[in-house]
Chain A
């Protein structure tokens, strides 16, 4: 603890002088970087538009109320598509993520030197690219529609699921595996009876968690043409049908809240 002398009295201080300077310098450096970056953004901004924004927002809000409730009859199909994209995409992602995770976990991988780096590279590249970018790419390749969306969500989910799953595999209790091995079980039997039961709850939790995230992500895939409710949203915005836009936003919020509720319930039941 640092104590400073003020005349004859001792005063408690949180840090000694040296640490205090280091902390202060770190804050200064951080503030400088922040100010510099903000300056660069501000140079690229047309401030007239920014100052005008509150008026614009008010205007937009007036035009969005009340929502065009009759339009909801046309939203059934897009919502169904959105849910399908999320669900089938999650299923596809998990189906690929399981072998990848098996190869990436240090204790189950067939080869630490060759297979593991490849698996880790798959995980990283799938995780760094957002599903919207995957969709952008796939729409140019397989054409617009739900199919591109499913594959985009699937590809994006591989990395997320495989990462969490291989971490779960690495954290298993080796004693159980050892016990199964001691009975003379083969490699496949060790996996099935020693490893799988230990990671199954984590696996179910991860799947549901990713499904919940995917519902949210699949609401926007339509903006680049990959099907779902985003397509309707894009259409409504480009035709300036603001009452339809507000209805779509409400439907999206409702879907997301319901999926979050389902996911929380299921995870609660598992754990």
Chain B
């Protein structure tokens, strides 16, 4: 009797796992409904900038910079950072092309910290497959919630494009601060960024696209090596004629971060002021 029961439930378990694998497969296709970026796009849809500074990039800009702070007693500034810019750059450029007609763009590419070139450009799902070993990073429950109640996951933005309040999602990233494991300097990454800068200039007509290195957290003993590797990339960018805006690129101050790559509220204020001071010194 007990063995029959065990076998019966094992069959159900197999069925559950089969459904889950099917879900992972579907998630990897165009039918995936996990698009938190869509809600961000929607929220920032009515924002546009004709003069001043456009801050663009991924979640490190969205959560880690405040255009409002930078704008105070300085040039008009707009935060157009959207999560996953790195993985969905084409979609992102389509989004900003009608919104940015200013001369100056400060672009914080998360990809500058990448270890390896992307397997296939703009393929979030491909990188998802590669990174998480064919296991969905977002749960079925989240997917259902996204469909049933999309507004529940909306993040509010103000007229500067900054998040209202602060939200550093730990859905994808652990709170535990890992050190940035950046230990090599791959030229392919730099070439990719240069290509993106050219594309940005082309679609927005901006004269200047500055590259800002998004600050990351690393333990004190790792800073030297990471910094050395990053310097090689910065040098390569500069020799391609790109202006690199550099403030703190690696910090061991945990109180500024909510994970190894995203500043927290205190960090947002700190890094925004740092960027502002730097831009002020540049006498734009």
A and B bound?
no
Q: Which residues of A contact B (CB under 8 A)?
A: none
Interface residues of B (CB under 8 A from A): none
